[in-house]
Amino acid sequence: MDLAGRTALVTGASGGLGQAIARRLSTEGMSLVLTGRRQAELATLAEEVGGTVVVADLADRADLDRLCADLADVDVLVANAGLGDPDDQPYTADLVDHVLDVNLRAPMLLSTAFADARAGRPGHIVLVGSLQGLVALPDYRLYSATKFGLRGFALSLRPDLAKVGIGVTHLAPGFIRDAGMFAESGIDLPPGVRTRSPEEVGELTAKAIRDDIGEVFVSPPELRFASTLGGLTPGLTAKVMAKLMPERG
C-alpha cells in the first residue's frame, strides 16, 4: 500500500512508541488521527505532525464504541495502546478486566469495525504486540496473556481479511530503549542483551504497511531466536529467566 495521502488512526498515541509510530507515518505523507488518554501529550504531537486529536480511554466502553463508529475515512489502523502488569496492585477482577479491555478487547473490536467500514476498499491493520506474545516472563502474566491472545488473533485475522484486500500485521517489539513500558520500568537487562529504538519501531511499522508483511519483530536476531526457543521450552525458559531477570517491586 502506498502511504502518501492515506489516513491512519494510531491508538496509544500519547505514549512514547505511539508517538514514534505517528512521527514516522507523518514523514511518509500520511494524515493522522491520534487517540489516547492524555490530551496534553496528544495536542503537542498533533501540532508537530499536523494530526487530529481524539481523546479516548479504550477501557471505557462508550469511548471505544465512539472510535469504532468513526472509521469510515481511516485507511490504516495502528492498534498500539497497551497496559502492563502493575507491581503494586493485587490481581482483582477489576484489574484483569481493565487490562483485557485495553490490550485485547479494544484491538479486536477496532479491527472488526475497521474491516466492516472499509466495505471492500483496501486497508491495513497493525496490531502492536510484544515478544512476550511468544515467550512469557516472570511477573508479567497478565500482560503476557493478552499479548499471546493478540498474536493469535492477528495471525488468524490476516488470511480472513486478505480475501477482501485488507492487510494485517502483528508487530512484536522486544526491549525498546527510551520509550514504552520497558523503558519506563527502569529494569536493568542482563549483560549482552541488546535493545532497539523507538524510531526503529516506527520505521518497521511503515514498512509492514507498505509491503503487507504479516509479522514483524523489532528486536535483535538473537533475541528473536531466544524468544522462539523459549516458546518451545517454557519450563526451562522460566528457570533461566528467573535467574537472569531482576524481581519487580
Helix or strand (DSSP H, E) at 163: none
CA distances from 70 to 63, 76, 123, 161 (A): 11, 13, 15, 20
* Distance separating alpha carbons of residues 185 and 200, to the nearest angstrom: 20
Residue 243 has φ and ψ, to the nearest 5°, of -85, -35
- Residue 235 identity: G
What is the greatest pairwise CA distance in the chain? 51
Find out whether 123 and 114 touch, Cβ atoms under 8 Å.
yes
The H or E element that residue 221 is part of is: helix 221-232
What lies within 8 Å, CB to CB, of 53 at 6+ separation is 34, 35, 39, 42, 43, 46
For the question of residue 91 being annotated catalytic, the response is no
Place of cell 511468544: 134
Catalytic entry in 114, 143, 175, 182 = 143
Answer for the pair 129, 106: CB distance below 8 angstroms, yes or no: no
Residues 6+ apart with CB under 8 A from 89: 95
Under a CB-based contact definition with an 8 Å cutoff, are residues 146 and 128 in contact? no
Burial (Cβ within 10 Å: 0-12, 13-18, ≥19) of residue 98: middle
Contact in structure between 17 and 198 (CB atoms under 8 Å): yes
Active site residues: 143
